[in-house]
Amino acid sequence: MPTRFSYEELTVMTENFSKKLGEGGFGSVFEGIMSDGTKLAVKHLQGVSNMKKSFLAEVAAIGSIQHVHLVRLVGFCAEKSHMLLVYEYMASGSLDRWIFHGKHERSHGMYGKESYQTLPRA
Protein backbone atom coordinates (compact mmCIF):
# COMPACT_ATOMS: atom_id res chain seq x y z
CA MET A 1 0.00 0.00 0.00
CA PRO A 2 1.16 3.56 -0.67
CA THR A 3 2.34 5.67 2.23
CA ARG A 4 -0.02 8.26 3.71
CA PHE A 5 1.79 11.60 3.93
CA SER A 6 0.64 14.66 5.82
CA TYR A 7 0.25 17.90 3.87
CA GLU A 8 3.03 19.33 6.03
CA GLU A 9 5.42 16.51 5.00
CA LEU A 10 4.67 17.09 1.32
CA THR A 11 5.16 20.83 1.77
CA VAL A 12 8.64 20.12 3.16
CA MET A 13 9.45 17.50 0.48
CA THR A 14 8.49 19.89 -2.33
CA GLU A 15 10.12 22.92 -0.66
CA ASN A 16 6.74 24.60 -0.47
CA PHE A 17 5.67 23.39 -3.93
CA SER A 18 8.37 25.51 -5.52
CA LYS A 19 9.61 23.32 -8.42
CA LYS A 20 6.80 22.78 -10.90
CA LEU A 21 7.33 19.86 -13.29
CA GLY A 22 4.17 20.36 -15.31
CA GLU A 23 0.44 20.79 -15.43
CA GLY A 24 -2.09 18.00 -15.95
CA GLY A 25 -5.86 17.76 -16.29
CA PHE A 26 -6.31 17.53 -12.50
CA GLY A 27 -3.73 20.01 -11.29
CA SER A 28 -0.05 20.83 -11.06
CA VAL A 29 2.84 18.40 -10.55
CA PHE A 30 5.81 19.36 -8.39
CA GLU A 31 9.21 17.85 -7.78
CA GLY A 32 9.76 16.44 -4.31
CA ILE A 33 12.70 14.86 -2.53
CA MET A 34 12.47 12.36 0.30
CA SER A 35 14.90 12.46 3.20
CA ASP A 36 16.87 9.55 1.65
CA GLY A 37 17.33 11.60 -1.54
CA THR A 38 14.73 9.78 -3.68
CA LYS A 39 13.12 12.12 -6.21
CA LEU A 40 9.33 12.17 -6.48
CA ALA A 41 6.57 13.78 -8.51
CA VAL A 42 3.83 15.23 -6.29
CA LYS A 43 0.51 15.86 -8.02
CA HIS A 44 -1.69 18.38 -6.26
CA LEU A 45 -5.25 17.63 -7.37
CA GLN A 46 -7.57 20.59 -7.81
CA GLY A 47 -11.38 20.72 -7.71
CA VAL A 48 -11.79 17.33 -6.06
CA SER A 49 -12.60 18.34 -2.49
CA ASN A 50 -16.01 16.60 -2.58
CA MET A 51 -14.53 13.35 -3.87
CA LYS A 52 -12.58 12.14 -0.87
CA LYS A 53 -14.24 8.71 -0.73
CA SER A 54 -13.66 7.91 -4.42
CA PHE A 55 -10.17 9.34 -4.14
CA LEU A 56 -9.25 6.96 -1.32
CA ALA A 57 -10.77 4.01 -3.21
CA GLU A 58 -8.71 4.91 -6.29
CA VAL A 59 -5.55 5.21 -4.22
CA ALA A 60 -6.10 1.75 -2.77
CA ALA A 61 -6.67 0.30 -6.25
CA ILE A 62 -3.83 2.08 -8.05
CA GLY A 63 -1.52 1.68 -5.07
CA SER A 64 -1.74 -2.09 -5.27
CA ILE A 65 -0.49 -2.14 -8.87
CA GLN A 66 3.20 -2.68 -9.42
CA HIS A 67 4.44 -3.16 -12.93
CA VAL A 68 7.75 -2.46 -14.56
CA HIS A 69 6.01 -0.44 -17.31
CA LEU A 70 3.91 1.71 -14.98
CA VAL A 71 4.95 4.61 -12.83
CA ARG A 72 4.55 3.59 -9.19
CA LEU A 73 2.26 5.41 -6.78
CA VAL A 74 4.49 5.91 -3.74
CA GLY A 75 1.96 7.67 -1.54
CA PHE A 76 -0.89 10.08 -1.12
CA CYS A 77 -2.30 12.77 1.12
CA ALA A 78 -5.96 13.41 1.93
CA GLU A 79 -6.10 16.11 4.55
CA LYS A 80 -9.07 18.45 4.72
CA SER A 81 -9.53 19.66 1.16
CA HIS A 82 -5.96 18.76 0.14
CA MET A 83 -5.68 15.72 -2.08
CA LEU A 84 -2.34 14.76 -3.50
CA LEU A 85 -0.75 11.81 -5.23
CA VAL A 86 2.94 11.00 -4.90
CA TYR A 87 4.63 9.14 -7.76
CA GLU A 88 8.14 7.97 -8.39
CA TYR A 89 9.97 10.53 -10.48
CA MET A 90 10.30 9.88 -14.22
CA ALA A 91 13.28 11.58 -15.77
CA SER A 92 12.27 11.00 -19.40
CA GLY A 93 9.44 13.53 -19.59
CA SER A 94 5.84 13.27 -20.67
CA LEU A 95 4.41 10.13 -22.24
CA ASP A 96 2.75 12.09 -25.07
CA ARG A 97 6.18 13.23 -26.17
CA TRP A 98 7.19 9.60 -26.66
CA ILE A 99 3.94 8.51 -28.25
CA PHE A 100 3.65 11.39 -30.70
CA HIS A 101 7.24 12.43 -31.29
CA GLY A 102 9.48 9.82 -29.69
CA LYS A 103 10.28 7.82 -32.80
CA HIS A 104 11.01 10.84 -34.93
CA GLU A 105 13.08 12.63 -32.30
CA ARG A 106 14.97 9.49 -31.32
CA SER A 107 15.92 8.79 -34.90
CA HIS A 108 17.40 12.29 -35.00
CA GLY A 109 19.34 11.69 -31.84
CA MET A 110 17.63 14.31 -29.68
CA TYR A 111 17.63 12.01 -26.68
CA GLY A 112 20.70 10.42 -25.19
CA LYS A 113 21.12 6.68 -24.88
CA GLU A 114 20.07 6.85 -21.25
CA SER A 115 16.67 8.39 -22.10
CA TYR A 116 16.12 5.79 -24.78
CA GLN A 117 16.78 3.00 -22.29
CA THR A 118 14.23 4.38 -19.83
CA LEU A 119 11.51 4.43 -22.53
CA PRO A 120 9.56 1.42 -21.22
CA ARG A 121 9.04 3.17 -17.89
CA ALA A 122 8.31 6.65 -19.34
Ligand X SMILES: Nc1ncnc2c1ncn2[C@@H]1O[C@H](COP(=O)(O)OP(=O)(O)OP(=O)(O)O)[C@@H](O)[C@H]1O
Nearest to 88 by CA among 122, 48, 45: 122
Per DSSP, the residues of 83-98 read EEEEEE--TT--HHII
Adjacency order of strands within the sheet including 27-33: 3-4, 73-79, 82-88, 39-45, 27-33, 20-24
Identify the residue among 34, 51, 62, 71 touching ligand X (CB under 6 A): 71
DSSP 8-state code for residue 46: -
Among the listed residues 89, 106, 115, 118, the single contact to ligand X using CB under 6 A: 89
Cβ proximity to ligand X, 39 vs 103, nearer residue:
39
Residue 94 is a binding residue for ligand X (CB under 6 A): yes
Closest approach, Cβ 39 to ligand X, in A, equals 8
**6 in contact with ligand X (CB under 6 A):** no
46 is a site residue for ligand X (CB under 6 A): no
CB of 25 or CB of 109, closer to ligand X: 25
